[in-house]
Amino acid sequence: MTKVASFTIEHHQFLDTEGKLVNTDLPAFAKDPEELIKMYRLMTLTRVFDTKAINLQRTGKLGTYASCLGHEASHVGVGAAMRDEDVYAPYYRDYGTQFWRGVKLENVLTYWGGDERGNVYENAPNDFAWAVPIATQCLHAAGAATAFKYRKEARCAVTAIGDGGTSEGAFYEAMNVAGVWKLPMVFVVVNNKWAISVPLEIQTATQTIAQKAVAAGIPGVQVDGNDVIAVRKVMEDALERARNGDGPTLIETVTYRLSDHTTADDASRYRKNDEVENAWKTEPLIRIRNYLMDTGAWNEEKEQALLKECADKVDIAVENYLNLGQPAIADMFDYMFAELPLSLQEQKDIAIEAAKHRVGGHH
């Protein structure tokens, strides 16, 4: 027998669960306290927002909502490494990445409120809309990366997906074409251990998600997804590699979904309490906050001021969302076709006419 191939998967971490350094070879950004504080502030805002969004859903002011509780380091670390000119193709709970890129809090509320105007990102106009169909966003990102390479633009496409989504064909198809064509893109798999009620060990037989990159002939790397320094570092390295023409990378961020899958789910029916309790001991905000406090860059007074600031921002976003008003009835017809088919044009005319006769306006 002759061995024809072998591989290894690296795991990256800088902070342990208590916020102590396990790797002192810090990247440049991590030596600047203000840069770390900037990331911590957005992680905190994302969590405060997430809690409020769930409360809105419980009181009937929001549709089904997908929580990002526990994902804050994975999301913010990815966003912080990207450039404005890059393009992001998200899945449906990537709020931390999107907030870093300029998507407004009220965009998220509007979308989950059932209004497609939430997908219009004023400050991130080139990023893709939320993809609820699993793994389709990977193909969208591969398409954008193909365009960047064809035009010889120094831009990258980034997409994110959950561990369950890596069982979808579209995920492998996108990785395959990205590997063959050496596309400038990065695949981020947020491994939160659960695909709704399916645990990771039933989802896949592989030891890591990162090694799925081997099948596409691209590098795969694993990172502690609750360590924002580590996530940003591996993401910066992957983006530099892509910009240099060396092709895509698959990054697996190992974290935990502390919430239900969505507000339509009840994780207590299939998940053990002690597993969740243990996960709370390693959640991402604790370790970066402890690290900042240990280094003297943060204190309790700053913490309380930040929490109030975040609550105020979220309250303003909620008010904007609730006061947005109804979308135009024609919106449901206007964005799929350049020229409406006759049958849809007839439906549009009927809908507009019917709306005129309803009490209270066009809805």
Catalytic machinery residues: 257, 261, 270
Question: How many of the other CB atoms lie within 10 Å of CB of 59?
Answer: 8
Token pair recorded at residue 269: 């029916």
CB contact burial 205-225 (16+ within 10 A = b; e otherwise): eeebbbbbbbebebbbbbbbb
Cβ(39)–Cβ(76) below 8 Å: yes
Residues 6+ apart with CB under 8 A from 321: 106, 109, 110, 113
CB 230 within 8 A of CB 15: yes
At 363 the three-state DSSP class reads coil
* Residues sharing a CB contact under 8 Å with residue 173, sequence separation 6 or more, in sequence order: 138, 139
Give the ranges where the chain is alpha helix by DSSP (H): 33-58, 72-81, 95-100, 105-112, 136-151, 169-181, 200-203, 228-243, 273-280, 284-294, 300-322, 342-356
Cα(224)–Cα(353) distance, rounded to whole angstroms? Answer: 55
Residues 164 and 134 sit within 8 Å (Cβ to Cβ): yes
